[in-house]
Structure 1
Amino acid sequence: MDHVTLTEIPRLYTGIAEWAACSIYILMLKKRYSGIFMGILMGATLIVQCLVQELAGHFSENFWLLGMFLAIGLMLLYFYFSCEITWINAGYYCIRAFILAEFAASLEWQLYYYAVESTENLSLWLGVAVLAATYTMVYAGIFFLERKHMYLSQEKTTVKELIFVIAIGATVFFVSNLSFVYANTPFSSQITREIFNIRTLVDLSGLTILYAYHILRREMQAKYDLDAMRNILQSQYTLYRKSGESIDIVNRKYHDLKHQIAVLRAEEDSAKRLAFLDEMESEIKMYEAQNKTGNSVVDTILTGKSITCQKHNIELTCVVDGKLLNFMHVMDICTLFGNSLDNAIECEIQIEEQEKRLIHVEVVSKKDFIVLRFENYFEGDLEIEDNLPATTKLNKDFHGYGIKSIKYTAKKYGGWVTINKKGNWFELNVVIPSPKE
């Protein structure tokens, strides 16, 4: 058996391994396309990947790195144009897929070498059988191992994290292929079995390191998200407490005004003064009835937000049956109403024409569900990304945590959140099953 022939993995097998590794991750990520078009894209990429590898096989030894970079570049493009991810995230998964492909191809060819050495049979069918069995086992195992650790929404990969992954990938690739470039080193070998063992075990170690790093990133991101949402919950509850104290003071002032009006009515005065007093009394009655929803927490939040809306000339209308929410925890009510109204108010402040600054809040019972609807008028284009309105802020790190906390709270009670836009109206719906008696 020819040592050189049996230690070099066929380019076609490498191309298939690289395509399959990318495809496994793409199946678990959010894709740009679906159906027939996605199938055509995957099939075309398989053909091109194999052709690139075959072409690289004809390069001289001085240009073998160029062939490798061409293959990796095609994998990068495959990720970016198949999935809704950034270039940084595409690079992150490209490196992970590249090391996975190196491991799968190395393991398959090592098993094939063992089978040939045992049977002394170089038949094509033996190679195809080993390839199919090995690739199926490796990629199916990776799919079931990785799918529960994949991001369901846009992933936040930093440049530093990408550089770290590239460094790991480059180190693994160099060490695993060292025997093919420099045979006379303490870390390389000229013996075929040792070459296979070094290459396969180093690739497996690199794959394990990248997988562990990915899980660590997920846990750190989950902790970061949880801390951010906890801070939002606490801030909303703090605002509720402060609003309650301020509103108590305002209520006392209005109570004093009612007694003053009663005294003034007993005095002789002009019709104009009486009309003015009638107007004051009407406003007081309107204020007293404005946020009497049947839930003291909802009343406090709506009253506090009403004062904010008046300050910015925003018209806030409410049709709220607060008694429907009496079963909910105080902090959860603060989260739903506080975050929803804060986002709406922030949007309305940016509208120049004050008569278009409109917010509507509704809490109603529909069949066996309680529906909380928050609507506000907006101008310009509004894009929905990952069921979140796209942000125009320069600092995007904290974008979406308000709505994430709303979704978390709704899920806590077995409910869900939907976001829609109808014309120039943004609509946030929170649907929660009615509690059983």
Structure 2
Amino acid sequence: MTDVLPDIPRLYTAIAEWIACIVYISLLKKKLHGWKLIGFVVLVLFAQATFLITTKDLPIVFWIPSMIVAIAMMFLFIYLSCEITLIEAGYFSVRAFVAAELVASFEWQIHYFLWKDEFENTFMASILLFSIVFVFSFGLIWIFERRLIPKEGKLNIRKREFLSTLTIGVAVFSISNLSFITSRTPFSGQYAQDILNIRTFVDLGGFAILYAYHIQINDLRVRHELQAMQTILRKQYEQYQQSKESIEIINYKYHDLKNQIIALKALKSPEERNKYLTQMEDEIKFYEAQNKTGNHVLDTLFTSKNLYCINNNITLTYVVDGTLLDNMEVMDICTIFGNALDNAIEYEKQIEDEEKRLIHVTLFKQKGFLMMKFENYFEDELYLVGGLPETTKKESHQHGYGLKSIRYTVQKYDGVVNIEKKGNWFEMKILMPLLK
């Protein structure tokens, strides 16, 4: 090379990697909070800076291993600070590393352009430039990333997506640093300014590619959620249609049986038979009456769910004014009540003590608002993510759409969903303006 290219100070690199991790940690669901998080953040900065500074003068053969260790430290920083999987931590570590490389290279390129002949006499100006570039660059990255990471801080990154990101990250790092190893390739720079240009622009292109890929992952996640919710909507509506047909058959049988009872009572028969038949008729009348809510859709849903509850030794009770839902679409009623009851039933089936398998539903008018309340006996701890219970099932990205579809449907009517635990009861309240 015709001019000497001073290395980026290792302290600059350490701080860039540290801040890049903090950018993503601030947007993810955190495992550590308060002073624990602050103490851990300070400890990581000290460890990162110490490691990079002490490995500065090692032979070139140790450069790649040292960078791998530095990335591993970033990985542990993100993983131990946030409630994410190992794959998600790896995904965000790669993105943080590329972002750190970009900002450090960008700052040093400006520095070299301004003071390439007087590196020893620019301490205060260097600190000022360093501060401005780092604050501006990482602030901009934070703003862009904030738009694409969900409020609950989880993207459910899968192995394939991580491997794609890792491949991009390795390619970007290799090409951007190729000139520091050898200038005897078609992709290497011969002069200091060329090397900095190559590094900065390759890092910028790599970060742009990773960001575009991140947008694609986010779009696919949203599309998957919408498809899953639409599937649930169709499923609930199909269940309603099937239940409606089954209940119509039951009603036909009921009327047939009622006529048979009348015929039997007209015959001369023993007193005990009359007494037994009278009791049967009273029970049938009671069964018919208890499923009348004033809304035929709710009648069908409650009858179907109640029959299932009886078969599984679950007590389902409800006090519902179905007339309040006369102006709600049939599919929306199915979505709200079908999913809410299905979730409650699924949980109650797991309770060993059958006397505690309790579900209660209320629907009433309150001061110009419509109130729906779904309650079921609940023995576990309740953890909320984005206002909804965190699923305990494996493959969590495939579950939880029932409650999301309820919230989505309620929002169509300008309503809100509130979930909480009161004692040993899981309670979901839905409040919306009265339907007109």
Question: Which residue number corresponds to residue 426 of structure 1?
Answer: 426
CA contact (8 A) 2:419 2:427 kept: yes
Shift of 1:384: 2.5
Question: Which residue number corresponds to residue 68 of structure 1?
Answer: 67
Kindly provide the amino acid, as one letter, of the partner of residue 169 in structure 2: G
Kindly provide the amino acid, as one letter, of the partner of residue 102 in structure 1: E
Question: Which residue number corresponds to residue 288 of structure 2?
Answer: 288
CA contact (8 A) 1:59 1:67 kept: no
Does 2:201 correspond to 1:201?
Answer: yes
Kindly provide the amino acid, as one letter, of the partner of residue 150 in structure 1: I
CA contact (8 A) 1:382 1:390 kept: no
Paired with 2:3 and 2:417, the residues of 1 have a C-alpha distance of 62
After superposition, the CA RMSD in angstroms is 2.1
CA contact (8 A) 2:78 2:89 kept: yes
Question: Which residue number corresponds to residue 143 of structure 1?
Answer: 142
Paired with 2:353 and 2:23, the residues of 1 have a C-alpha distance of 51
Paired with 1:289 and 1:33, the residues of 2 have a C-alpha distance of 55
SS in 1 for 2:398: coil
Shift of 1:432: 2.3
Aligned pairs for 1:26-425 (under 5 A) are: 26-117=25-116, 122-153=121-152, 154-379=154-379, 381-386=380-385, 387-391=387-391, 393-425=393-425
In the superposition, the TM-score normalised over structure 2's length comes to 0.93
Shift of 1:141: 1.2
Paired with 1:339 and 1:316, the residues of 2 have a C-alpha distance of 15
Paired with 1:86 and 1:3, the residues of 2 have a C-alpha distance of 46
Paired with 2:33 and 2:325, the residues of 1 have a C-alpha distance of 41
SS in 1 for 2:363: strand
Query: CA 1:92–1:357 in structure 2 vs 1: closer, same or farther (change >3 Å)?
Result: same
Shift of 1:208: 0.3
SS in 2 for 1:41: helix
Paired with 1:78 and 1:152, the residues of 2 have a C-alpha distance of 21
Shift of 1:401: 1.3
CA contact (8 A) 2:149 2:155 kept: no
Shift of 1:65: 1.8
Farther off after superposition, 63-72 or 218-227:
63-72
Paired with 2:30 and 2:395, the residues of 1 have a C-alpha distance of 26
Deviations 1:358-416 (A, max 9, x none): 2211212333432222222345x445252554555455442111111112112222222
Shift of 1:262: 2.7
SS in 2 for 1:196: helix
Kindly provide the amino acid, as one letter, of the partner of residue 86 in structure 2: W
CA contact (8 A) 1:7 1:196 kept: no
SS in 1 for 2:183: coil
SS in 2 for 1:419: strand
Shift of 1:425: 2.9
- The count of aligned residue pairs is 433
Paired with 2:41 and 2:369, the residues of 1 have a C-alpha distance of 43
Kindly provide the amino acid, as one letter, of the partner of residue 138 in structure 1: S
CA contact (8 A) 1:22 1:97 kept: yes
Shift of 1:349: 2.7
SS in 1 for 2:147: helix
Kindly provide the amino acid, as one letter, of the partner of residue 31 in structure 1: K
Shift of 1:427: 2.5
Farther off after superposition, 94-103 or 425-434:
425-434
Paired with 2:77 and 2:434, the residues of 1 have a C-alpha distance of 46
Structure 1 residue runs of 5 or longer lacking an equivalent are none
Kindly provide the amino acid, as one letter, of the partner of residue 260 in structure 2: Q
Paired with 2:375 and 2:55, the residues of 1 have a C-alpha distance of 58
Query: CA 1:262–1:120 in structure 2 vs 1: closer, same or farther (change >3 Å)?
Result: closer
SS in 2 for 1:429: strand
Deviations 1:125-181 (A, max 9, x none): 121121111112211111121211112333211112111111111111111011110
Paired with 1:142 and 1:390, the residues of 2 have a C-alpha distance of 29
CA contact (8 A) 1:418 1:430 kept: yes
SS in 2 for 1:149: coil
Shift of 1:225: 1.0
Farther off after superposition, 180-189 or 408-417:
408-417
Shift of 1:350: 3.0
Query: CA 1:331–1:118 in structure 2 vs 1: closer, same or farther (change >3 Å)?
Result: farther
Paired with 1:220 and 1:189, the residues of 2 have a C-alpha distance of 39
Kindly provide the amino acid, as one letter, of the partner of residue 9 in structure 2: P
CA contact (8 A) 2:382 2:420 kept: no
SS in 2 for 1:318: strand
Query: CA 1:350–1:121 in structure 2 vs 1: closer, same or farther (change >3 Å)?
Result: closer
Kindly provide the amino acid, as one letter, of the partner of residue 338 in structure 2: G
Paired with 1:364 and 1:415, the residues of 2 have a C-alpha distance of 15
Paired with 1:348 and 1:63, the residues of 2 have a C-alpha distance of 59
Paired with 1:171 and 1:311, the residues of 2 have a C-alpha distance of 59
CA contact (8 A) 2:297 2:333 kept: yes
Shift of 1:38: 2.8
Deviations 1:321-372 (A, max 9, x none): 1122222111111011111111222223333443332221121233343222
Query: CA 1:42–1:234 in structure 2 vs 1: closer, same or farther (change >3 Å)?
Result: same
Paired with 1:397 and 1:274, the residues of 2 have a C-alpha distance of 59
